Chain A
């Protein structure tokens, strides 16, 4: 508005202000998920039983909780990190109302490209002895670059071919894996420079006699924090929610809808590239089989984490917690000695249950909102009569 507003626009403002300042309650959307994580953790630590392990320092035997054991928690964190990072990427896509089925294949292709590069400059490769000062950044760049490029192609396909993202990414899921297969001739690539594996991703610290690898965990937390910040503070972040909430209205509001879509698919690819980089460094090998079937785990993590497949809803922290919940269940099945064959049934049930709970939570929230809307309406009616008294219509 310009400064030469007529008096009417500035009049009767006191009331509006009071309704604005009243009832400001930023809600923390992940409370429920955190509760589930804590409950699962409690259950697992209570029922998993104990294990007797030799203490490395003293040589004596100590009894530890199977779940809370440092080794187990470290393992859980490492397993979670791959999926959580990709789930954060998938959440971006899902918020815009899209879907990315190709994450597993992008992860595989990025890993394979990185692996071939690292193998070439590895101790047994033709490029052995190259300076790690550019081999390590080079490997990182190749992983992230390949992932981003794959994601970019997905995004461009969705925008310019105007084919449903399900179909586009279903196609690229096969294509990217096929490319990885052809490139590697179905061989596994190993023997990477130690500076990349043990020196970076698999950097080890000893804590209470357990070997822990903090780098994957740190990267996961970093990616999640950055993505969460981006969704809340960046213009594009806001646009992502708007496009997913109502694409037509976004177009009518002059948002760069296509650019937003390309960006989220590219980001999903980038996230897959980051996960691939961690996997390479941690396991020290990759083949064209890497990440098979990951797409469903990743989407499941995002959905358990509260992302709505209809679009317009989802958080980065939710994706992380979703991935953590799924990995905790996997972990629990192992330490509780449940038959591995049941794991899929349990995880499937958990996904449906999580979404169901989320919807119930939503219905409750809507009811709350309807109540507050009603209250607002009542106060409006009071307000309207005040206006009428104070100023006759022109």
Chain B
């Protein structure tokens, strides 16, 4: 177990030979092994079922199951034997699916089953399951649970990576907690309880900061969303955002936080519900609409969605506000240069010059460019999705300070973050999401690491019992 980014998946990948460890060793049945490739790990009997389904969706189920060892005859694939073998592996785990079906057409749950069958097909007796239920529905998760039972009876060892409390307590015998890429504790589950685990996962004590904006009275309401829903992503999300506030949004990976952000920014065509800006209902169908309303989004993946990496740093800053820096469609280069120099100064962007391409900058400075892009646009509502991911400590402190300043200057900020201290320190209020729903709202005074973690992981706490469990799962 462990928080987001604790290093669970990385450890799993080392076990399966995908990543190579810098030091240390892996012992299997008392023998030290060094896997140089997933193939070697497979031969040693280690199989991994990945968090993100990693298969060839264009091939048939049978081919996927036996992908690592296709039966051959005279150098060509022996289809009959292939299908028989795949069928037998699928039968062994009680998965009923057509081996000739294309994998991409199956439901996520079925695909997961196929992955497990493929892991079985390698003849493994050690399985690493990395968050296997994160993409499954409730009934599919139950089938997976049965499957794990079957595997255990056959004498397999299962390493189950998860941050869901209930699963850990149902499936596992021993638990190892990781935090900040380090081993924290290993103990039999019988000797522990949920509260202890949460404390171990959080671990750190930290001093709560009191940023400037918290002391000012929030201004009028800037953004209100009502009953936002998007099939398969999130349901009934309602909250409001006032000028001068930082609202933190906490939750586990896959809780639907980023999806809500994208929805508000006009990037989810299937979203229903109302978005109100300054009290007026707004139709946001694309990012341009959102921008016209003064909304800016610093997205989670700055390399893919935030920056044009090959373009100059300066051009990245002014990319969204060129209409304001131009006359009759012609950029006023002198004005643009002064705006760029201004933001380089204000945000302390460290680059050789505004003309170097954005890809040469460090993560923290790249993030500053994205922030500067929206500040140059003079947006009033800023949605920050993991604003300090992949940013070094110094730049992180600078970005935190900046967020505080912006709120103090009257911007409404919605900050999605997986880092609890960040959320707790900077937020005026905290919204916790779980399984695509709002699991709880906490004021700054109420928000402690334990409370937020409990809400995130879905441990039953008094405030949560008001919502029926079946609704939460759906």
Chain A residues close to B by CB (< 8 Å): 1-2, 4-6, 8-10, 12-13, 15-17, 19-20, 22-26, 233-236, 238-239, 241-242, 245-246, 248-256, 312-313, 369-370, 372-373, 375-377, 379-380, 383-384, 393-394
CB distance from A370 to the nearest CB of B (A): 7
| Residues of the A chain whose Cβ atoms lie less than 8 Å from the Cβ of B348 | 12, 15-16, 383
Name the residue in B211, B341, B352 with the highest tally of chain A Cβ atoms < 10 Å from its Cβ.
Answer: B352
For this complex, 19 residue pairs linking A to B, each with C-beta atoms less than 8 Å apart, are A5-B405, A6-B405, A6-B408, A6-B409, A9-B405, A15-B348, A19-B344, A20-B354, A23-B353, A234-B329, A235-B322, A249-B307, A251-B287, A253-B319, A372-B356, A372-B360, A373-B356, A373-B362, A377-B350
Given the interface contacts A20-B354, A255-B319, does A235 sit within 8 Å of B287 by beta carbon?
no
Please classify the interface of chain B as helix (H, G, I), strand (E, B), loop, or mixed, using the class held by over half of its residues: mixed
| Residues of the B chain whose Cβ atoms lie less than 8 Å from the Cβ of A377 | 350, 362
CB distance from A72 to the nearest CB of B (A): 40
Chain B positions 214-273 with a Cβ under 8 Å from a chain A Cβ: 265, 267
Per-residue interface assignment for chain B, residues 343 to 387, with 1 indicating a CB less than 8 Å from any chain A CB and 0 otherwise: 011111111111111001110000000000101001000000000
CB distance from A187 to the nearest CB of B (A): 43
Chain B positions 402-451 with a Cβ under 8 Å from a chain A Cβ: 402, 404-405, 408-410
Q: Which residue of chain A has the shortest Cβ distance to B311 in the bound complex?
A: A245
| Residues of the A chain whose Cβ atoms lie less than 8 Å from the Cβ of B315 | 238, 241-242
Q: How far, in angstroms, from A13 to B100 measured CA to CA in the complex?
A: 65
| Residues of the A chain whose Cβ atoms lie less than 8 Å from the Cβ of B291 | 254
Tell me if A20 and B353 are in contact (CB < 8 A).
yes
The interface-forming segment of B23-31, B103-111, B297-305, B461-469 is: B297-305
Tell me if B350 and A379 are in contact (CB < 8 A).
yes
Per-residue interface assignment for chain B, residues 323 to 353, with 1 indicating a CB less than 8 Å from any chain A CB and 0 otherwise: 1001001110100000001001111111111
B32 sits at the interface (CB 8 A): no
Tell me if B409 and A241 are in contact (CB < 8 A).
no
B278 sits at the interface (CB 8 A): no
B397 sits at the interface (CB 8 A): yes
CB distance from A379 to the nearest CB of B (A): 7
CB distance from A27 to the nearest CB of B (A): 8
Q: Which residue of chain B has the shortest Cβ distance to A27 in the bound complex?
A: B355
Chain B residues close to A by CB (< 8 Å): 209-212, 265, 267, 286-288, 290-291, 297, 299, 304-311, 315, 319-320, 322-323, 326, 329-331, 333, 341, 344-357, 360-362, 373, 375, 378, 394, 397, 401-402, 404-405, 408-410
Tell me if B308 and A376 are in contact (CB < 8 A).
no
| Residues of the B chain whose Cβ atoms lie less than 8 Å from the Cβ of A393 | 397, 401
Q: How far, in angstroms, from A252 to B262 measured CA to CA in the complex?
A: 9
| Residues of the B chain whose Cβ atoms lie less than 8 Å from the Cβ of A26 | 355
Given the interface contacts A4-B409, A233-B333, does A376 sit within 8 Å of B350 by beta carbon?
yes
Partner of A24, one of B288, B290, B331, B355: B355
Q: How far, in angstroms, from A379 to B351 measured CA to CA in the complex?
A: 10
- Residue pairs across A and B with CB atoms within 8 Å: the count is 158
Tell me if A254 and B345 are in contact (CB < 8 A).
no
CB distance from B438 to the nearest CB of A (A): 25
Please classify the interface of chain A as helix (H, G, I), strand (E, B), loop, or mixed, using the class held by over half of its residues: helix
Q: Which residue of chain A has the shortest Cβ distance to B342 in the bound complex?
A: A1
Tell me if B410 and A4 are in contact (CB < 8 A).
yes
Given the interface contacts A1-B378, A4-B409, A246-B309, does A10 sit within 8 Å of B212 by beta carbon?
no
| Residues of the B chain whose Cβ atoms lie less than 8 Å from the Cβ of A24 | 353, 355
Tell me if A19 and B350 are in contact (CB < 8 A).
yes
Partner of B305, one of A5, A6, A252, A313: A252
Given the interface contacts A26-B355, A393-B397, does A373 sit within 8 Å of B309 by beta carbon?
no
Name the residue in A26, A233, A235, A377 with the highest tally of chain B Cβ atoms < 10 Å from its Cβ.
Answer: A235
CB distance from B243 to the nearest CB of A (A): 12
Q: How far, in angstroms, from A369 to B288 measured CA to CA in the complex?
A: 34
Q: How far, in angstroms, from A25 to B287 measured CA to CA in the complex?
A: 34
CB distance from B314 to the nearest CB of A (A): 9
New A-B contacts (13) at CB < 8 Å, excluding given A19-B353, A242-B308: A9-B402, A16-B346, A20-B344, A26-B355, A234-B330, A235-B330, A241-B315, A245-B309, A248-B305, A252-B306, A254-B288, A393-B401, A394-B212
